[in-house]
Amino acid sequence: MTRIDLLGQTALVTGGSRGIGAASARLLAEAGANVVITYQRDRRAARTVCSAIEASGVRCRAVRCNTARASEVRACVRSVLREFGRIDILVNNAGVWKQGAIGAMTERQWDETLDINLKGTFLFTNAVVPSMKQHRSGRIIMIASTAGQRGEAFHAHYAASKGGVIAFTKSIGPELAPFGVIANCVAPGWVETDMTAETFGDRRQAAEIRRTIPRGRAATPEEIAGAVLFLASDLSSHLVGSTVSVNGGSVLSN
- Pick from 27, 77, 172, 191: which binds ligand NAI (CB under 6 A)? 191
Window contacting ligand NAI (CB under 6 A); options: 1-9, 19-27, 127-135, 205-213: 19-27
In contact, 47 and 16? CB cutoff 8 Å = no
- As a whole number of angstroms, the distance between CA 152 and CA 170 comes to 21
β-pairing, 89-92 vs 10-13, is parallel
- As a whole number of angstroms, the distance between CA 148 and CA 251 comes to 11
* 33 lines the binding site for ligand NAI (CB under 6 A): no
* Count of CB atoms situated within 10 Å of the CB of 115: 17
Nearest distance in Å: CB 26, ligand NAI = 13
Residue positions counted in the chain: 254
Based on the residue annotation, tell me whether 158 is a catalytic residue of this protein: yes
Window contacting ligand NAI (CB under 6 A); options: 10-18, 55-63, 102-110, 230-238: 10-18
- Pick from 6, 12, 13, 20: which binds ligand NAI (CB under 6 A)? 20
- Pick from 9, 10, 34, 40: which binds ligand NAI (CB under 6 A)? 40
* 156 lines the binding site for ligand NAI (CB under 6 A): no
Q: Which of 158, 159, 188, 193 is labelled catalytic?
A: 158
Crossing angle between the packed helical segments 120-135 and 156-176, to the nearest 10 degrees:
10
- As a whole number of angstroms, the distance between CA 24 and CA 229 comes to 7
Nearest distance in Å: CB 195, ligand NAI = 3
* 116 lines the binding site for ligand NAI (CB under 6 A): yes
Window contacting ligand NAI (CB under 6 A); options: 25-33, 81-89, 133-141, 183-191: 183-191
- As a whole number of angstroms, the distance between CA 216 and CA 207 comes to 9
Which DSSP state fits 56?
Answer: T
* 94 lines the binding site for ligand NAI (CB under 6 A): yes
Nearest distance in Å: CB 8, ligand NAI = 26
Size of the site for ligand NAI (CB under 6 A): 27
- As a whole number of angstroms, the distance between CA 239 and CA 113 comes to 28
Distances (CA, A) of 38 to 15, 93, 136, 201: 5, 10, 25, 27
Chain residues that interact with ligand NAI, rule: CB under 6 A: 15, 17-21, 38-40, 66-68, 93-97, 116, 143, 145, 188, 190-191, 193-196
